[in-house]
Structure 1
Amino acid sequence: MLELEAGPLRARVFPEIGGIVAGLDWRGPDGRVHKVLHSPDGATPSIAAPNLFGSWAMAPFANRAFDCVVDDGEQRFTVPKNSPTGNIHGFGWQAAWNVLRYDRGHTVLEHRRTEGPDPYRYRVVQDIRLDEAGMTIALSITNEADLALPYGLGHHPWFGCAGDTRLGMTAEGALVFGEAFRAIGSQRLAEGGPFASGPVFATGRETAWSFLDWGGTARIETPSTGLAITLTASESLNCPVVWAPAGADFLCVEPQSHAIGAPSEPAARAAAPLKRLEPGETLEGWLRIAPEAI
């Protein structure tokens, strides 16, 4: 485990377990320590199943490849199964990452895939940096195969959610889901979509959105704890997923480069596809998480 520190912020990073940022804590102006990322006491990172806390990289695609299929209209192949419906979140979260650099408030991690039953061969770099106001994670994935392949990228932060937590963000469109998050089409959203006014998030039922053309900023406010979090991301990660099961004490806002199911579902691919990278070509993106007192 690596510990990062900058001013009032502390982070715990586990390179050997999926390169996960397992916790991000912030000491507010009144001295109280807030968990900026959802991180239950005693939670231990694992590569057996997706971690329901912290924040971790998704590569070489984000979210779901149903039935383990990757098909961008030019190539079709299968990837190893790691969930009941196929492959979820790619391979990075189940890999050990190498530490390329580490100092007080900064680390650079690398994950390489050099073998496997599918053609994916790539290098992913996470540059995780704390400053006194927040955490910035820069991501890049480079195609190291000898042929062009479809790639995606993203990060999966989990945030605490209470009964009064509000989520504010805008987007121009979203997927239309059929069964089990499989896209059957897309839609344009009026007036910025369902979270444009910053409504209370908790609804008593599962919430699931794969947004298109995001405004680039999401704000999570919980008056009962006095914490507000602003999440921003690069234009290359403008297809965020918002998800939480019914009654959960967390919510997810996941900046990513393509829609849910884009590896396998024609409707998702039509709305926001993976990016086809030539050998040696790189896809980049970044996200920033900044806390403040309210």
Structure 2
Amino acid sequence: MSDSHGLYVVVLAGGISHERDVSLRSGRRVADALSSAGHRVVLRDPDAGLLPFLAAERPDVVFPALHGSSGEDGSLLDLLAGLGVATVGSTGAAARRAWSKPLASSVVAQAGLAVPQSIVLSHEAFRELGAASVLRVVRSALEGDLVVKPGSGGSAQGVTIVDNTEDLPRAMVEAFTYDDVAVVERRIVGTEIAVAVVDTGDGPQALIPVEIEPSAGVYGFQARYNAGETTFYAPSRLSDDVAAAVSDAAVLAHRTLGLRDLSRVDFIVDAGGTPWFLEANVIPGLTETSLLPLAIEASGTRASTVYSGLVRAASARAA
């Protein structure tokens, strides 16, 4: 349990998803920040010993820094709730809504946000109906360049921009490597913006929108986690009105999906200033090159202050 200097926090990092290495980096950063804020911190991998460890230790709060299915598909979050352990972040049900990109897009579209036109394909349907026939329909139904991505997952893994129809079959194979569902959507051209949403007890607040300008033109996995491959603008170069609109859209998406504590919502803002929703991340990257820590810094506060506020809010909620 906690002592007079702070709370006893277990930070979860690692896992067996494609994003294990990123998660380990996020976890170390969170653990260091919480330790500097005066909390007692243990860093744990979500292995077979985790649930017995938590049942025996009864930490004040668990802070998941798990990316990919390990932490974001809702399974572990449901189990932590079942253990009665206070946890930073969303419920399992909300995480599942955001984890499924087609479902998240449907939910936020009903709330009035702009979402790119798309076709969602299961691997089974793709095989049964014939790849060539399916792709002909896709190509005729969706105009212009396309984005092909797995139906779930993060860090831009399995995502391909298709500007030549001949590359579409390979893009489908790449997406199906990461999930049994692929999303093919019309590519929106514009400015890539990420908005972190944080709630330490006073309701969800959007931090300063961060503009992403990858040197290679595409914000892929390498550009996300290798320093120097992307230029970030925090604050973004959007006009005040458009920055306010994208911030409002991020909070609306956070609320509509039922998310809690923290999220990162990704948009493309087109030439007309409309923010197009791409996805919401319930456990966004927290590494040294990640967008949420950058937004915290640009907002004039420290990661240690925000993370400490999140663990205290989670502890108070459980109490």
Give me the TM-score of the superposition, normalised by structure 1.
0.31
Larger radius of gyration: 2
More strand by share: 1
More helix by share: 2
